[in-house]
Structure 1
Amino acid sequence: MEHPEMTVIYDVDEAVATITLDRPEAMNSLTAAVKADLLAALRRAAGDEAVRAVLLTGSGRAFCAGQDLREHAGNLERGLGLANTVRDHYNPIVLTVTSMDKPVVAAVNGVAAGAGASLAFACDFRVAADTAKFAMAFCGIGLGPDSGASWTLQRLVGPARARELLLLGETVEAARAHEIGLVTQVVPADRLASAARELAVRLAQGPTRAYGATKRALDHAASRPLAEALEREAELQDELAATSDHLAATKAFLSKERPRFEGR
């Protein structure tokens, strides 16, 4: 998982896989090596039955500043353009985050810009430090959105606000981000790690299969008419009705006991 210029730290505890972008001297900006390691870590978490929630964060003063522009400039000078990084790296990363049948929490500890902000928006929850900042920096360097920002932003804040954020590219402070729905929660910077982990552990102790089905139902319904959404809900409910968690939780409810979920 290591390269000379960066490290992605992967750790599992209490059924939570914590993935940390650890390139603080470059504000955790994304080189090809970083993107490859991040994708590998996300796929590892998605495929590990012992992992029931994922916590994504960055080290130092930034969550992720987006694409490493030094590497990008080098590619441009060599005539490589984007070097197909959107299709080969960003798209698979975002699809892995959004499609895994486990909740993903972003702990936004500082600046989240460009693809870094898009990565946070792809997560199911965003807990931000009160010092965090978001910037859709794409137009500022003559590019359009990538990493799913054109899809996720509209669903988080609505099409008009998404257009404003993407076209103007102005920095959004944490309090404003919470006000318009970009983040789930804002906490003091010194409490971010504990607050985000508390949420991730809570999710890891929940009905993992039901969480995954809920994510799939929401994604399906976002672009389908009501009748199709209803049918998809029925299909997913049939699947969940046979799970151990549903059977145990139903018995616990009837016995007036608190259910204990095992993610099965």
Structure 2
Amino acid sequence: MASFDPLLDKDGVRLAVDDAIATVTLTNPAKRNAQSPALWRALAEAGRLLPGTVRVVVLRAEGKSFSAGLDRQAFTPEGFDGEPSFIDLARGSDAELDAAIAEYQDGFTWWRRSDIVSVAAVQGHAIGAGFQLALACDLRVVADDVQFAMRETGLGLVPDLTGTHPLVGLVGYARALEICATGRFVGAEEAQRSGLANLAVPAGRLDDSVAELAAALVAAPRDALIETKALLQGAVERTYEEQRVAERAAQGRRLRDLAGLSD
């Protein structure tokens, strides 16, 4: 993975860019990459700092776990230094609480931008917020030791970091409900079989496999990939006829561009 000077390195998040491929790394293995509001803001900043040359973003984590989820310190009266605790947030107005959660979500929303393809490399535990961060990406490659779990419901909460929409899209409503309601672990074999993972590989091959996938994605013509991604993202909400129209319009743009006739 990228080893040059990072564009961002703070609050457990590092962003490094090598031409068309950016790598976002979670860098707090001592705490199993547990998440905090500061980390979420750093993730959002990483998205804002991406140069226009970037076509693929790889999300990875140092250590044995991708992310063990929310740092439980958020639920203590003290919270984090310089941050309101979640208890304090709950005591605020509805508007204040909504704004705080919306800010937290910003770190999870940019991964599906139409101009990039994001790939999560997931090993070990990916629990709660960690699971949702992996779900925020377009694609997931998992190590054979991966353990996904959505534990929020069992704690009296809900998954609120944008994970519910992609989870239902990938595995369907019934299985998504069962995974969230029970909080059980989903291993590599089930993850690949159910569509949560695009590829499951031995842990020692995770970085190499993701690098190979990133290289294949970069090899595709950028504008064609952007148009294809937009078509696929909109397919669920369009009717069959609407999708046919969208395909024709997209192909028309591509043909004109290839013929040198685009505006």
How would you bin the TM-score normalised by the shorter chain?
0.7 to 0.9
Once residues 31 and 213 of structure 1 are traced to their aligned partners in structure 2, the CA distance between those partners, rounded to angstroms, is: 35
| Aligned position for 1:20 | 25
Letter in structure 1 aligned against 2:134:
A
TM-score by length of 1: 0.83
| Aligned position for 2:63 | 60
Once residues 119 and 254 of structure 2 are traced to their aligned partners in structure 1, the CA distance between those partners, rounded to angstroms, is: 23
Q: Is the 8 A contact 1:18 1:55 kept in 2?
A: yes
Q: 1:182-221 residue pairs with structure 2 within 5 A?
A: 182-221=196-235
Q: 1:41 aligns with which of 41, 46, 53?
A: 46
SS of residue in 1 equivalent to 2:23: strand
Once residues 93 and 22 of structure 1 are traced to their aligned partners in structure 2, the CA distance between those partners, rounded to angstroms, is: 16
Identity of aligned residues (%): 35
Q: Is the 8 A contact 1:30 1:68 kept in 2?
A: yes
Q: 1:1-264 residue pairs with structure 2 within 5 A?
A: 1-3=8-10, 6-13=11-18, 15-45=20-50, 48-73=51-76, 74=79, 75-80=85-90, 84-90=99-105, 92-243=106-257, 246=258
SS of residue in 2 equivalent to 1:228: helix
Once residues 25 and 247 of structure 1 are traced to their aligned partners in structure 2, the CA distance between those partners, rounded to angstroms, is: 54
Consecutive unaligned residues of structure 1, counting only runs of 5 or more, are: 249-264
Consecutive unaligned residues of structure 2, counting only runs of 5 or more, are: 1-7, 80-84, 92-96
Once residues 178 and 62 of structure 1 are traced to their aligned partners in structure 2, the CA distance between those partners, rounded to angstroms, is: 18
Q: Is the 8 A contact 2:171 2:196 kept in 1?
A: yes
Residues paired across the two proteins, number: 241
* Structure 1 residue 240 displacement after superposition: 2.5
Query: CA offsets, 1:16-72, max 9 Å, x none?
Result: 101101111121122111111111112323xx2221211001111111222222124
Once residues 102 and 35 of structure 1 are traced to their aligned partners in structure 2, the CA distance between those partners, rounded to angstroms, is: 20
Query: CA offsets, 1:70-125, max 9 Å, x none?
Result: 124331343546684431122x2332111242111110022111121112122121
Q: Is the 8 A contact 1:117 1:135 kept in 2?
A: yes
Once residues 255 and 154 of structure 2 are traced to their aligned partners in structure 1, the CA distance between those partners, rounded to angstroms, is: 49
Q: Is the 8 A contact 2:114 2:230 kept in 1?
A: no
Once residues 178 and 233 of structure 2 are traced to their aligned partners in structure 1, the CA distance between those partners, rounded to angstroms, is: 24
SS of residue in 2 equivalent to 1:60: coil
* Structure 1 residue 219 displacement after superposition: 2.1
Shift in alpha-carbon separation, 1:236–1:66, aligned structure 2, 3 A: farther
SS of residue in 1 equivalent to 2:161: coil
Higher mean C-alpha deviation, range 216-225 or range 166-175: 216-225
Once residues 79 and 43 of structure 1 are traced to their aligned partners in structure 2, the CA distance between those partners, rounded to angstroms, is: 26
RMSD of equivalent CA atoms: 2.1
Once residues 69 and 137 of structure 2 are traced to their aligned partners in structure 1, the CA distance between those partners, rounded to angstroms, is: 16
Letter in structure 2 aligned against 1:60:
G
* Structure 1 residue 220 displacement after superposition: 1.5
* Structure 1 residue 228 displacement after superposition: 2.0
Once residues 154 and 79 of structure 1 are traced to their aligned partners in structure 2, the CA distance between those partners, rounded to angstroms, is: 29
Q: Is the 8 A contact 2:24 2:60 kept in 1?
A: yes
SS of residue in 1 equivalent to 2:12: strand
Once residues 199 and 64 of structure 1 are traced to their aligned partners in structure 2, the CA distance between those partners, rounded to angstroms, is: 22
* Structure 1 residue 247 displacement after superposition: 5.5
